[in-house]
A and B are shown apart, each in its own frame.
Chain A
Amino acid sequence: MAAAERRRPENDESREGRSDSDMELNDDQIIERTLAGETDAFSLLVRRWERPIYGLSFRMLGKDEDARDVCQETFLAAFRNLRKFRGEARFSSWLYRIALNACHTKLRKQNSVQEHSIDYEDDDGRKYEIADTDVEQMPDRMQRDQRAAMVRKALHALPGEMRQVIIMKEYEELTFAEISEILEIPVSTVKSRLYTGLQQMRGRLEKLRGAL
């Protein structure tokens, strides 16, 4: 199964008000319909791709509000430039590229990558702190949250080019070829960046564990 197909959201909410035939349309068919004047068809693409784009943006930027902004900007830019999309690359690759550019723009505005506090806010807005207790004694949920906080901190301390490759591979489950297409770099460079990124993550996570 293609990675793009695997990543399609299947939540019921996205299907509300849409017939099954609408949801079965592939991206290219929806683009054709949108360009033919059926602008509402584009919302199918939004529903289909908002979760991956949001996930990528959230992990790149670390803030829900920023990720939502990038999500909005990405789909608006895609809609406005839909005629420039020539189908040479996959629509999803094109969309990821727009989202990554928007993320980088936002990061530049924030004056490069900031060192994030080891405390963090979860998806529901709750604040977590890494407690100074023995990890082995913590309940599972809390331990998992602590690990997630460490991952988040370690990931955000990575150089952007490695962070984006790790996010695309680990969380978006893109193939090396797809990442290569999105970033317009050779597959060997993708692998090299991923390897170095994982090495750095390993070192940073070990340090964070040692600090607890």
Chain B
Amino acid sequence: MKTPEKNIIEGCDRKEDLIGYIYEELSAIERSSFERHLAGCPTCSEETRAFGRVRDDLSTWQVGFTPQTEFQPPRGKWSVFFELVGMFPFWARGVALAAAAMILATFSFGAWQMLTGGGKTPTTEISSAAVEAMIQEAVAKERFKLMEDFKTEMAGLKERINAENESRLQSVKADQDARIKTLQAGFQSELRKVNRQNSSIRSFFAMDDSQEPWGGTR
């Protein structure tokens, strides 16, 4: 079976030369070479004649007119706009201009009102960076406030601890003073007792040797 791309003349593989020959695109050397081949190749001769008839048939289908393509290069938006405006009469353009001026003035006034606070609070678009900055600022403020509260609380705690310590210290001191006083009283009592004993001893040793301790005479 022949395929479209591999179709070859039976017994002859000079189909390209044949095509070049019938369309007169062979060089002089190629042409004379193929003509010599044609003289001895009935297949190629027959193909050449048959293709000549096909070409003759093909030439009967002619397109005998020019389409007159209406081509307008695409124009810019402003060009189209100005042409559109030019289609209206002068008075209509004046009215349109006045209306446009009024609309512009109204919008300008509204914008001025909003900018100066005379109107509603203008809604402005906030960029994500601005939102981020605002969040960071709020966090910093909150953090500062917390730190201040913490410091205050710590100072109060310190005062309470100091007061408690002072109180305990006073208590311990009073306790110690009381103990010391008790001890001092004890010591003084003991001291008086010792003094009395000493004076007794001293008075004993101060007696005459002839005197008996029990008061008799020797």
| A residues apposed to B, CB below 8 Å | 9, 11, 13-14, 39-40, 42-43, 46, 50-51, 54-55, 58-59, 67-68, 71-72, 75-76, 79-80, 123, 144, 147-148, 150-152, 155, 159, 161-162, 166, 169-171, 175-176, 188-189, 191-196, 198-199, 201-202, 205
Contact = CB atoms under 8 A, between A and B. Distances in A.
Nearest to B69: A50
A151 B69 contact: no
A150 B60 CA distance: 10
Nearest to B3: A196
A168 B54 CA distance: 15
Nearest to A68: B67
Nearest to B17: A191
5 contacts: A42-B73, A46-B69, A51-B67, A55-B63, A75-B69
B57 A205 contact: yes
A170 B71 contact: no
B37 interface: no
Nearest to B72: A43
A198 B19 CA distance: 10
B88 to A, nearest CB: 26
Contact of B66 (A11, A169, A192): A11
B16 A188 contact: yes
A79 B73 contact: yes
B4 interface: yes
Interface of B: 4-5, 7, 15-16, 18-20, 23, 25, 50-51, 53-55, 57-71, 73-74
B61 A195 contact: no
Given A194-B19, A195-B18, A71 B58 contact: no
Interface of A is mostly: helix
A201 B67 contact: no
Given A40-B73, A169-B23, A196 B4 contact: yes
B5 to A, nearest CB: 6
A143 to B, nearest CB: 9
Nearest to A55: B63
* Smallest CB-CB A-B distances: 6 pairs: A39-B73, A147-B60, A148-B61, A54-B67, A148-B60, A191-B19
Contacts of B59: 170
Contact of A166 (B5, B15, B58): B58
Contacts of B4: 159, 161-162, 193, 196
Contacts of B54: 198, 201-202, 205
A1 B73 CA distance: 31
A50 B67 contact: yes
A151 B5 contact: no
B16 A9 contact: no
B73 A54 contact: no
A211 to B, nearest CB: 15
A43 B71 contact: yes
A181 B208 CA distance: 166
Contacts of A171: 58, 63
Given A79-B74, A152-B61, A195 B69 contact: no
A151 B63 CA distance: 13
Nearest to A162: B4
A176 B55 contact: no
A169 B15 CA distance: 16
